[in-house]
Amino acid sequence: MAWGVAHETGLLPVEPVRPRPPQHLEGRRSVVTPHPAKFTPVILNRLTGIIDELLVDSEPDRPIVILDPFAGVGGIHALASDRVRTIGIELETEWASARAGTLVGDATRLPVATASVDAVVTSPCYGSRMADHHEARDTSRRITYRHTLGRPLTAGSAGAMQWGPAYRDLHTRAWTEARRVLRPGGLLIVNISNHVRKHQVQTVVEWHLADLLDLGFCLDHVAKVSTPRMRFGANRQARVTAEHVIVMRAPE
């Protein structure tokens, strides 16, 4: 769906900010910006299966609308088809500009009409060491949002937040926005993971689940998905071996 059409139909009630490549890359034919935490194929497969089930119960002649408020380089658009429209929102211009259909925006202030979305499908940041954002000057290998982007992250980015109160506050606001834009009973699918810090598993998955229940979402199911994880760095022996996919329903 063209943005003009989405805007006129009220799906996007405010004039969207169209992402543009950063100035030094403008005019190049294609801009490939690396991203450290894209959806993996195994997660995308799982998401596709859930959306296929949703389509079984949907009116065949009304395409469903899926929104990813933490869209990165737009893996969500792999779910698009003649029956599925996808919209991405991403804070960082370089990553938003990787795919048409992703707008620059903030997950805590979505430029999307209330009760206009059938499913929010997303993978937020995990609050792990990938959120390290100091400017490392040595040559050791680092896979972080800050280093991959090559500049400081935009204010309000969860990509610079370690697991803690600021991380939790931002995601409660993002899930409150997700509830606002979802149709009553709409699906919320969250791909998230725990991580190990100082030899302790940080229970990020359990927190998101509890927060969503507090906000009135109803649990459909939680799937544990085994995924390949980074096998280098100081914590390589202490990585958790699975990610989770939380599937909830918005309040009716």
Give the residues lining the site for ligand SAM (CB under 6 A): 35, 37-39, 69-73, 75, 89-92, 95, 106-108, 123-125, 156-159
Q: Which is nearer to ligand SAM, 86 or 116 (CB)?
A: 86
Is residue 46 within 8 Å of 11, Cβ to Cβ? Answer: no
Q: Tokens representing 83?
A: 């029956």
Q: Which is nearer to ligand SAM, 68 or 118 (CB)?
A: 68
Bridge-based pairing of strands 182-192 and 242-249 is: antiparallel
Q: How far is the CB of 144 from ligand SAM (least distance, A)?
A: 11
Q: How far is the CB of 86 from ligand SAM (least distance, A)?
A: 12
Q: How far is the CB of 59 from ligand SAM (least distance, A)?
A: 28
Q: Would you list the DSSP string of 43-88?
A: HHHHHHHHHHHHHHTS-TTS-EEEEESS-TTTGGGGG-BTTEEEEE
Q: How far is the CB of 191 from ligand SAM (least distance, A)?
A: 7
Q: Which is nearer to ligand SAM, 58 or 225 (CB)?
A: 225
- How many whole angstroms separate alpha carbon 163 and alpha carbon 58? 37
Entry field: residues in the chain: 252
Q: Which residues contact 77 (CB under 8 A, 6 or more apart)?
A: 86, 88, 99, 101, 102
Q: Which is nearer to ligand SAM, 34 or 58 (CB)?
A: 34
Q: Which is nearer to ligand SAM, 44 or 58 (CB)?
A: 44
Q: Which is nearer to ligand SAM, 106 or 118 (CB)?
A: 106
User: Which amino acid, residue 20?
Assistant: R
Q: How far is the CB of 156 from ligand SAM (least distance, A)?
A: 5
Closest CB to ligand SAM: residue number: 72
- How many whole angstroms separate alpha carbon 53 and alpha carbon 36? 30
Q: How far is the CB of 89 from ligand SAM (least distance, A)?
A: 6
